[in-house]
Structure 1
């Protein structure tokens, strides 16, 4: 039952970004599916174990998340009517649902390495079949392509509303394949990576392409010894600085307008970001934001979205929440030095980069966000400490499962 609901969640999330009329209904339905999964896991846990586990490792994350919710609540001060307040509370509820789903529900559902392997396979097959069918249906359809008359970029939409949706789902597909190969030593899943790379190429999603490069670079970096890591960090920083200075100098010498060049590179996103920031025309909105109401235009930058909705105060607390997650992942990496810790560190950093141009970092509406935070929840809860691993997998240095359960905070 729960596995079937997870399949519906993944496939429904993908369909909700397609150009069909029923996609709107699927967008709303996926929130209901998350609730049904959560209730099912909680009921099974209570009947089978008579408890619901919340692991002490996540107390810091819970605290900063709670503070962020408080800042969102303060944003209602700048709300004008009852409907707007209801909209803010509804959006806040989705944040709470994502947190509970990631740090309570999934860790209570997945209690062994084998179960997490099945969870990843579920994502793999749902993504591969959904994008594969979409590709077969639309590849020869001229309406699935769009030539931008200004940039002359001919982008492939497949069955989606925007080529960037195809790009982010393809990136997620590569991430899942890499996870299965890197952590579970199942290299056969890498055979479909070229297909996802081809989709990213057709969609011309620069963010997705750079995200793949960054993910692979970080994984390669974490494979090096500490001594080589220090050398690489210093060298890379110097090289990137030189390249940045050269590119910017070259652009300025041609146009003399840095803002224009960056705006063109970011597909006019700078204009959109400045428009939203200009709407914050009072001290109250600057500090507390304008509330979690729908914007006239998509912001395509999660950090600016948080800033405009919750103000400087809310953005600061949100970054504190992100920092708390990073600290826990980093501690896990320093203690265990296992492949799972290295991958989660790399994936989290890549998603922080992805949030600069797409609002996919923390939202229940994004499948990539759901996968990211549920994986973090499983990893930080250390619920994969079962020492009996799959054949050919890399063992993870973790505590015994019995000791972890004893040290956990039990909510009954």
Structure 2
């Protein structure tokens, strides 16, 4: 869902392929290697994001509700694991920070303004809050990604980053977190980002084992069956990882912590299963995995407009739900087309270098102190080396 940090190392066996013409932003020269499995996974996950958001208003239909729950069991944790893995090269340098601001923060500001403009027209006036610190609908992910990536150098210095992130996420859920900067989701999903950050290429080789792929079929099939009773008995609030455990009608420690742990385990198991079953070879949609940010940002605007129309009143049945799923699939593909990307580039990949302060050139280093003996008044060296002035 976000522009990946390109992995320029050579691919593992059968795990990567040279990027096609569509995977590089027109850069001349030899295209860097990209992991085909990750690009495939990113496109499939963004399709699930679009479909999940498209069918959200139709959850009164039992079959749609089960599909919605199954998607939300794992699609965001899986995307966040991949985002963490692709953030390994973030080192806090000025170039990395500049890229983060221009590719995450600036698009956030642009689409926040677009969302608020549509809401203002729809409601016939301004809302109660116009704070930029309160993300609109899907934009919480850009805020989370911005904060997570800024924290990458910290996690790299820790000995047990995943365990620490897990503890922070679990215990922070027992206190009330405001919706400012979507802190609830930022903290709740943190372990998945740090897990992805801790992965290495060799870990993905485990996904090619036959027994794991067979087990993955069982996991995804079983969870699809379980989604039916769970969608009927458990509030969808558990799917969003947004609210504190103290904001629920049940005890915030038990069973709330147990349910949160169960959802964490479920998300992790389904993420592994999904990646194991994702094709590792190049497919017709591999190159489209480079454009998930266009799909993510573009589909939110389209669906906000669609929800304000009579569409869901007309499609409030199983046939209409199937048509809506088809519309979601078509929308994901449409937003990847070259002409749509060209029309959206000003907002998704804004060239706004003026937004940043020009970096001052580093001062030239002082010349090294002479190693010759210092001269005294009579021109004779006294045998002592001259020491450089501290701080020069």
TM-score above 0.5: no
Higher relative helix content: 1
For the pair shown, the structure with the greater C-alpha radius of gyration is 2
TM bracket, shorter-chain basis: under 0.3
TM-score (norm 2): 0.26
